[in-house]
Structure 1
């Protein structure tokens, strides 16, 4: 009798232990499920950018647009060479949906003109940072690197007043390609003050934009002017570099005319992006 009682007690103890293990694993499983659910709801993926591809920059510019920026194209008599000049040279890239660019270099009787157009589509690899926010940060770094001067007291606010009106007139007027930007009359007839043409931010292009204008060289050497216009639309950053180097020492390319051409091109590229 005593032996039977011992066996029955052992069986009861084993049954209790088994029940406890089963209960523990069940409650533990529900706790893990709850944690997984909380983790899933705590981290919400940031919104993707508006653009998931890029235009082909060498084909984004019409012949008339290139004629206005690169007057020497019309002076090329050989038809095959002229068509090659229109085509430009695509920059090397490993993913044309992330970064794409094109360069043109054309000589004329008065100057050599350079044009570079670059598209960059920004993608954030941080789920908590949107593509737009990442692009905004990169654009801020680009603008800081340009080291734009503080607006002068005599100049109006960026792209306001007479400066905006004149820039609009340049953009809407017929292509000025037939008139070399280095002609003295261009500077003499300018209606915009130098302070209004200084490097500055732009308020009427994309989500944010800036313009830089730099002259290299001195009066005793050939001077080259380079106008840069950069703008951001959602998660795409567009950069235009437009440079002109006259053949004559002492001649400085006209700032107003070159800025007008570069801004006109920027507006057209913004239309291509639909932004």
Structure 2
């Protein structure tokens, strides 16, 4: 029976070696003192919905006047929209609609961008916030302290230009568009587009021309996603025609949504109503936020 203690000793050695090599238990994966990097939280959205189906037909009818009077086959084509060509529909999708009416044409464009962070220490949401802030800054608004008053003060510092600029916030509510939308007559502005000294004319706000309504200036928006801003641009579409584009950009988690709503009147002396376009663009933005929340 002398072999029994030897067997027991051999078994003990095997167990001891297994424990020390990790074959019989869990050993640390990293060396002592080595920092552990936790992966950042992924974004809420991993895919994007079809942009051309994101807007309800009833909303499109309101945003695209004139389309409802078209023959049924043409109506269908207008309301279907045209998808934006993208290389990865899980990262970016868009759609464009256009309608023609006797007195004006309207164009609606929406864009969904899903932001992904490739830095394990930065979450998708944080990276999306950075991208959104860049867009807000490019629009001439500083997050989130920008106010209509501060924007207007910045406009006073900008030298007047003889030609409207597509990316100039000052042309959203000023310039040669200072005339009544119905009569085409000046409303307190001079022929070169400068406001008369001492006047508080908004010139380019359509039905609100001359009211001095600062609420229609480019601005940040409250209670819309995780951050939002509105821009309003009045530009020339040729030698005489002018169009107005209202843009609403908002972020919801790791998705950034851009809405561009444009009206171009048939008669060059008629200006698009800023308030109406802004109200409709904001209404659509709130519907899209609700859709993302579903």
Q: TM-score, normalised by structure 1?
A: 0.72
Cα offset, 1:42, TM superposition: 1.5
Matched, 1:147 2:143: no
User: What secondary structure, in the 3-state scheme, does the structure 1 residue paired with 2:127 have?
Assistant: helix
The change in CA–CA distance for 1:183 and 1:58 in structure 2 (over 3 A counts) is farther
User: What secondary structure, in the 3-state scheme, does the structure 1 residue paired with 2:30 have?
Assistant: helix
66, 69, 74: which one pairs with 1:75?
69
2: CA distance, partners of 1:38 / 1:110: 75
Q: Unpaired runs of 5+ in structure 1?
A: 1-25, 28-32, 156-181
Residue 55 of structure 1 aligns with which residue? 49
User: What secondary structure, in the 3-state scheme, does the structure 2 residue paired with 1:53 have?
Assistant: coil
The change in CA–CA distance for 1:38 and 1:261 in structure 2 (over 3 A counts) is farther
Residue 230 of structure 2 aligns with which residue? 211
The higher radius of gyration belongs to 1
The change in CA–CA distance for 1:242 and 1:258 in structure 2 (over 3 A counts) is same
The change in CA–CA distance for 1:48 and 1:38 in structure 2 (over 3 A counts) is farther
Residue 255 of structure 2 aligns with which residue? 236
1:222 touches 1:251 (CA, 8 Å); kept in 2? no
The change in CA–CA distance for 1:248 and 1:235 in structure 2 (over 3 A counts) is same
1:124 touches 1:131 (CA, 8 Å); kept in 2? yes
Aligned runs of 1:107-122 on 2, under 5 Å? 107-122=100-115
Cα offset, 1:184, TM superposition: 3.7
Q: TM-score, normalised by structure 2?
A: 0.67
Aligned runs of 1:117-132 on 2, under 5 Å? 117-132=110-125
Cα offset, 1:187, TM superposition: 4.7
2:114 touches 2:256 (CA, 8 Å); kept in 1? yes
1: CA distance, partners of 2:57 / 2:149: 40
User: What secondary structure, in the 3-state scheme, does the structure 2 residue paired with 1:241 have?
Assistant: strand
- What is the aligned-residue RMSD (CA, Å)? 3.0
2: CA distance, partners of 1:39 / 1:110: 73
User: What secondary structure, in the 3-state scheme, does the structure 2 residue paired with 1:127 have?
Assistant: coil
Q: Which has the higher contact order (CA 8 A, sep 6+)?
A: 1
Residue 215 of structure 2 aligns with which residue? 196
1: CA distance, partners of 2:100 / 2:266: 10
Deviations 1:14-34 (A, max 9, x none): xxxxxxxxxxxx89xxxxx76
Aligned runs of 1:178-193 on 2, under 5 Å? 184=182, 187-188=206-207, 193=212
2:95 touches 2:109 (CA, 8 Å); kept in 1? yes
Aligned runs of 1:96-115 on 2, under 5 Å? 96-115=89-108
Residue 133 of structure 1 aligns with which residue? 126
User: What secondary structure, in the 3-state scheme, does the structure 2 residue paired with 1:257 have?
Assistant: helix
Considering fraction of residues, name the structure with more helix: 1
